[in-house]
Structure 1
């Protein structure tokens, strides 16, 4: 029997990795962009999902412009809350499970240790608030849901990737000043995609205790400065000219949206329930950079 996964989103980092992910036998996966599944039209979205034939729906579509969200709150909430609600309603009507991607930004960053799934949320930005509202919308509308929070996602694709941005800026400037007081876990979009596929396969196989909220990031943590250092150290070992990297506090680089000072996530639950054990962030980062270098570009590929 064939099982169909419908992905809301096509051009984002995780959606693009889902599109090329290895699937179990008997599975098909379809990514739909806004031209055929527009989350800004909730009624139509819910209807299309209900009629889609999907066994699993993955919400990989979101408003992710963290700083712009401060001045575009209506748009952020329409996509991240109302769009998620529409997908949940459609999946519930269809009898499908919904896998919804969320973020570390639902937390305020004041906890000194990693956040687990039971910690209270308290977003400090419009983006974080809109994603937290999306989580609540999903929980209220569909029992068969998995909310997967992740953080600091990057990939070989897209201008929003921190890794690609560092590689581009490092080739243009002799020195970069990078924030060193925000802590998190750099996470490869390919690993998030593989985790989502594994969860989907387990749910289709009848896993009854697999619903609820989970955290998934690559293992270990660092700061943005530490991540940049790792990027340029890898390039330097391959003979590339790299910039000098200087650590700075967040106060020296003010941005419209506040970021959590600590957004490290405890990913133990997904290991206990699904047997998914994240690999070290250094390993995932180096694999991504190798792909970017092999492609010979640090600009967005078509």
Structure 2
């Protein structure tokens, strides 16, 4: 059986990966106490030596986008330096490295969905650190998968969806940015597709198509459109809201300034993933519906059955 090491087991994606990867081999799920990516490369490699995995799946990251503007050194240590150390270890030991990146590596201009070979141009410290991590992997580890995604959410952990549900029950007025466009990506979907890719790698390692792929649901929306749809569906499901979803106000990013610049265009073209592996991606609303159902009916979902993505 393959030994599969997961970093960041308590995060949104790490939580779901433990479910999706469990049937594929012996799982070694680590948290910051067991594998701290802010430590030196030597310490990271020593930790990997102790576990000696065949596959490393790395969802752990410095994701405090605004804090990174004043703490770029730590962001780089976790998102770039540590990733380089993991990639070098994976190459020496012949292990597969699966790593997750972000739409923030692009400059956010235009309206066309970003392709994997488009020129990058991150506009934030977080984006620069994630791009540096990608480059470190490509330099050191030929056997890798880099999966770029966007707007990750899930039933576990903190995210926009859960924040909007809370605010919708507390406030009778909300303002949400309407000029940033992308697709909300469920952590469960990312984890399930990761499992499919690893399953294919284990079956045919010699002919596997390593490289960088975009992974996001079909369709697009703004943060405002996302919030309106979510709270409309929550109201239809019986959740008592203080706000009428139709009254959520859309505002430009300029009215909600933050330390880090957000991409206006977070659209990701996923044709390469679908054409290479035959994976059909669902429309973004289906993921919102599934997570909302899980949150509003915890008893019915306590067993966490496998997801079915149309």
1:217-256 equivalences in 2 (<5 Å): 217-242=216-241, 243=243, 244-256=247-259
- Contact map agreement 1:50 1:94 (CA 8 A) in 2: no
Q: Is the 8 A contact 2:154 2:188 kept in 1?
A: yes
Q: How big is the shift at 1:192?
A: 0.4
Mean Cα displacement is larger for which, 75-84 or 271-280? Answer: 271-280
Equivalent residue number for residue 74 of structure 2:
75
How far is 1:131 from its partner?
Answer: 0.2
1:50–1:91 Cα contact (<8 Å) kept? no
Verify: 1:286 aligned to 2:289, yes or no.
yes
Contact conserved, 1:178 with 1:246, CA < 8 A, in 2? yes
Question: CA 1:54–1:270 in 2, change beyond 3 Å: closer, same or farther?
Answer: same
Aligned length: 293
**Cα-to-partner distance string for 1:239-273 (whole Å, 9 max, x where unaligned):** 33332311000011101100111010000111111
- Corresponding residue SS for 2:239: coil
Shift of 1:150: 0.3
Structure 2 CA distance for partners of 1:28 and 1:276, relative to 1, 3 Å: farther
Q: CA-to-partner distance for each residue in 1:16-48, whole Å, 9 max, x for gaps? A: 011122644x52322101111111222121233
- Counterpart residue number, 2:191: 193
Conservation of the 8 A alpha-carbon contact between 1:49 and 1:91: no
Deviation, 1:9, is: 1.1
Question: What's the secondary structure of 2:63's corresponding residue?
Answer: coil
Superposition RMSD in Å: 1.4
Task: Give secondary structure in 1 for the equivalent of 2:175.
Answer: strand
**Post-superposition CA distance 1:123-144 (Å, at most 9, x none):** 0000000000000011111110
TM-fit CA distance, 1:76: 0.5
CA distance in 2, matches of 1:280, 1:132: 27
1:157 matched to which residue of 2? 156
2:7 and 2:35 in contact (8 A); partners too:
yes
Query: What CA distance in whole angstroms lies between the structure 2 residues aligned with 1:78 and 1:13?
Result: 21
SS at match of 2:14: helix
1:218 and 1:97 map into 2 onto residues whose CA distance is 25
Q: Distance in 2 between matches of 1:96 and 1:50?
A: 12
Structure 1: 5+ residue runs without aligned partners? 297-302
Which residue is 2:212 aligned to? 213
- In the other structure, the counterpart of 2:127 is 128
Q: Distance in 2 between matches of 1:246 and 1:286?
A: 22
Give CA-to-partner distance per residue, 1:258-295, whole Å, 9 cap, x none. 01110100001111111222111111111001111113
Residue among 258, 261, 264 paired with 2:261: 258
1:145 offset after TM fit, Å? Answer: 0.7
**1:48–1:90 contact (8 Å) kept in structure 2:** no
- Out of 138-147 and 29-38, give the one that drifted further: 29-38
Which whole-Å CA distance do the structure 2 matches of 1:91 and 1:144 have between them? Answer: 8
In structure 1, C-alpha distance between the alignment counterparts of 2:132 and 2:293, rounded to whole Å? 37
Asked if structure 2 preserves the Cα contact closer than 8 Å seen for 1:110 and 1:261, the reply is yes
| SS of aligned partner of 1:295 | coil
Question: How many angstroms apart in 2 are the aligned matches of 1:37 and 1:239?
Answer: 42
* Aligned equivalents of 1:268, 1:278: Cα separation in 2: 10
